[in-house]
């Protein structure tokens, strides 16, 4: 019997003795209470003896640890979800902006459909009124590819008036000259190719413009000027397609004894 049980029994026995009355043991309330306490103490001792209470405490601690770990994971997932939502929102805004830009370009293209579908340009009219420089350049270039040289020339002319500072201005100037060249307007083409060289000296179109100046002078039977332009292409822009074409035309001049 443990010290705790001995103390409890001593107190109870002393109390019973102090008020001793001739009562049968089976009916004595003190003894009955004592028996109940003994049973309860025995139950507690059994729990302590087999370690159940300790095990429950350990399990409780483990459950608390797992709960804290789960709570941490939940907070991490919530933070990740917030980040994902933010990235999705940014992606949506970027996509929306790009769609709006495409729609604006489409509206500009639609505005120029009448010209691209066979209409004509009035003097001073852009092929894509209200469109950007790139929209109008592309529309003019499409006219040139479709061999609609007169409206193409007008489109490039108006482009240069409307967008003189465009990064596409040198290209537009070159194709304006080309639209004259392919329609055998060699004097006009010669003047416009010269503008490419004089106004856009850093343009990648300069070698081609020099070559075409040689071609124009050839067609105009200005043999000396033709040779001068073709020789310049070879000297200043060697190892280019323009230089190889210039060499071929120079051989032709030699063969024709010009």
Residue 105: band (very low, low, confident or very high) from pLDDT cuts 50, 70, 90: low
pLDDT on residue 90: 64
Rounded to whole angstroms, the Cα distance separating 200 from 203 reads: 5
225-238 average pLDDT score: 96
Indicate where the chain has its CATH 1.25.40.10 domain(s): 185-258
Question: Is residue 35 predicted with pLDDT exceeding 50?
Answer: yes
**b/e per residue, 29-66, with b = 16+ CB within 10 A?**
ebbeebeeeeeebeeeeeeeeeeeeeeeeeeeeeeeee
**Cα-Cα-Cα-Cα dihedral of 74, 77, 78, 79, to 10°?**
120
Q: Residue 110's CB: how many other CB atoms inside 10 A?
A: 11
Residue 193: band (very low, low, confident or very high) from pLDDT cuts 50, 70, 90: very high
Please tell me which residue, 173 or 123, carries the higher pLDDT value. Answer: 173
Residue 20: band (very low, low, confident or very high) from pLDDT cuts 50, 70, 90: very low
Rounded to whole angstroms, the Cα distance separating 90 from 85 reads: 9
Question: Is residue 107 predicted with pLDDT exceeding 70?
Answer: no
pLDDT on residue 19: 46
pTM over the 0.75 mark: no
Architecture per CATH, 185-258: Alpha Horseshoe (1.25)
């Amino acid at each position: 019997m443990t010290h705790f049980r001995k103390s409890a029994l001593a107190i109870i026995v002393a109390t019973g003795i102090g008020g001793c009355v001739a009562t049968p043991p089976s009916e004595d309330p003190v003894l009955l209470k004592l028996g109940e306490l003994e049973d309860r103490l025995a139950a507690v001792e059994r729990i302590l003896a087999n370690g159940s209470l300790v095990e429950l405490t350990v399990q409780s601690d483990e459950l608390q640890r797992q709960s804290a770990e789960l709570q941490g994971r939940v907070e991490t997932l919530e933070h990740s979800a917030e980040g994902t939502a933010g990235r999705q929102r940014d992606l949506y805004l970027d996509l929306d902006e790009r769609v709006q830009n495409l729609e604006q370009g489409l509206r500009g293209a639609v505005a120029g459909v009448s010209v691209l579908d066979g209409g004509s340009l009035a003097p001073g009219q852009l092929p894509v009124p209200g469109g950007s420089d790139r929209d109008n350049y592309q529309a003019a270039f499409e006219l040139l590819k479709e061999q609609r040289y007169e409206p193409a020339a007008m489109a490039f002319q108006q482009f240069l008036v409307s967008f003189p500072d465009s990064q596409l201005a040198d290209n537009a100037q070159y194709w304006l000259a080309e639209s004259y060249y392919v329609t055998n307007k060699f004097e006009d083409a010669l003047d416009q190719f010269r503008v490419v060289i004089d106004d856009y000296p850093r343009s990648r179109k300069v070698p081609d413009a020099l070559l075409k100046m040689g071609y124009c002078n050839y067609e105009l039977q200005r043999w000396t000027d033709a040779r001068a332009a073709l020789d310049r292409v070879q000297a200043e822009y060697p190892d280019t397609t323009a230089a190889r074409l210039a060499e071929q035309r120079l051989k032709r001049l030699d063969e024709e004894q010009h």
